[in-house]
Copies of this chain bind each other. A is one copy, B any other.
Amino acid sequence: MDDRQTDDRDERRDEVLKALVEEHIRTGEPVSSKTVLESTGLTVSGATIRNELASLEREGFAVQPHTSAGRVPTARAYRYYVDHLAPSKLQTPAQRRITEFFASMHLELGRLLKATTELLTDLTQYPSVAIGPGATGEIVRATHLVQTGAKTALLVVVTASGRVAQELCRLPEPMTTKELERAEEVLARVVVGKEITTTGDFGLRAADVPAPVRSALVVVEAALREASARTADVYVGGTRQMATVWDDLATVQRVLEVLEREATLLTMLGGADGTSIRIGDELSTDEMDLAVVSTGYEIAAGEGRVGVIGPMRMDYRKVISAVEGVSRELGDRMAD
């Protein structure tokens, strides 16, 4: 009997919380007890809802902008909502658009990822991000050393899965075309077929070639490691939506800052394996109306990540299904 009572109460509490979150997502306004009542269809009085809401506020799930306003859900409320209350994902017509998109889009990876952010933005109306797979661990298929100056050369690495990395090398001393060609030959002979890694040592410094060529090769080997260590490409799309998503100039600016700072972006997207949802202060200490939904994808060239950046009050169901749908199709597409 006691249990039953507890169950009832918790059930109602959840229902109120759910209504609070969903109504606020829908309208963006503080939610009043009356609204909750109408939206849940509960057969209790407004006063009861008010008590419930007051208790939710005490537990940190809601705040009042001012005394006589309704409640606004906190990051914690959204977190609880997506963990326990969000309706199960639905197969939406969006899925078809995603499939069609990938069926019709024939682009090299970089441009494909850029286009993918546009798709995600179209689907969700929020800015989005795609991260390409890094070069680490790729098998080298071809290398080139292109002379770009008296003391500079460009190292181009093409990997077996079709990634291309470029790295500028500062040669220790001016080199003739002949010498550079020699270096290119040796490089290709030694490196092609191998994996590139951040720690990789191909023993180029011990190559049996004239000294100037050898010293160039040392620089090139460093560049090779550099290329492998370099953070993956980041593509951002849909910034034009920002002004409609956040109606506050200060917030827009802070989001723009985040989007320009790749490092921040990478940590925000998170490295979890599956879908990651980060809400409000889970992203950074300074409070901000921000939530990030992201998920990983896997293709021949490695693993990457796609995600959407929006306000806390977003339609998580829709966004999650868009992000996961895109990620899945992206993987399938590249596996054909």
A148/B166 in contact, CB under 8 A? no
> Taking CB as reference atom, which chain B residue is nearest A112?
B168
A108/B253 in contact, CB under 8 A? no
> Taking CB as reference atom, which chain B residue is nearest A250?
B243
A161 CB-CB contact with B under 8 Å: yes
A162/B141 in contact, CB under 8 A? no
Given contacts A237-B260, A257-B240, A260-B240, contact A106 B160 (CB under 8 A): no
A125 to B335 alpha-carbon distance, docked (Å): 44
A141 to B168 alpha-carbon distance, docked (Å): 17
Identical chains bound together, number: 2
Report A237-278 residues with CB < 8 Å from chain B CB.
237-240, 242-244, 247, 249-250, 252-253, 256-257, 259-260
> Taking CB as reference atom, which chain B residue is nearest A160?
B146
Expressed in whole angstroms, the minimum distance between the Cβ of A219 and any Cβ of chain B is 11
Contact with B along A157-168 (1 / 0, CB 8 A): 011111010111
Expressed in whole angstroms, the minimum distance between the Cβ of A64 and any Cβ of chain B is 26
Given contacts A106-B168, A167-B108, A243-B253, contact A162 B146 (CB under 8 A): yes
Expressed in whole angstroms, the minimum distance between the Cβ of A11 and any Cβ of chain B is 42
A150 CB-CB contact with B under 8 Å: yes
B244/A253 in contact, CB under 8 A? yes
Q: Please name all residues of chain B whose beta carbon is closer than 8 Å to the beta carbon of A335 when the two chains form the complex.
A: 149
A156 to B161 alpha-carbon distance, docked (Å): 12
A35 CB-CB contact with B under 8 Å: no
> Taking CB as reference atom, which chain B residue is nearest A243?
B253
Report A64-104 residues with CB < 8 Å from chain B CB.
none
A259 to B238 alpha-carbon distance, docked (Å): 11
B242/A256 in contact, CB under 8 A? yes
A201 to B170 alpha-carbon distance, docked (Å): 37
Expressed in whole angstroms, the minimum distance between the Cβ of A84 and any Cβ of chain B is 35
A148/B164 in contact, CB under 8 A? no
A57 to B253 alpha-carbon distance, docked (Å): 36
Q: With contacts A148-B300, A249-B249 known, what are 20 further pairs, Cβ within 8 A?
A: A106-B152, A106-B170, A108-B154, A141-B146, A142-B142, A142-B144, A146-B158, A146-B159, A146-B162, A149-B335, A149-B336, A151-B336, A164-B164, A164-B166, A239-B260, A240-B253, A242-B253, A243-B250, A243-B256, A244-B253
Between A and B, 29 residue pairs with Cβ closer than 8 Å are A106-B152, A106-B170, A108-B167, A142-B142, A144-B158, A146-B159, A146-B160, A148-B161, A148-B300, A148-B334, A149-B334, A149-B336, A150-B336, A152-B336, A154-B162, A156-B164, A164-B164, A164-B166, A237-B260, A239-B256, A239-B260, A240-B253, A240-B257, A240-B260, A243-B249, A243-B250, A243-B252, A244-B253, A249-B252
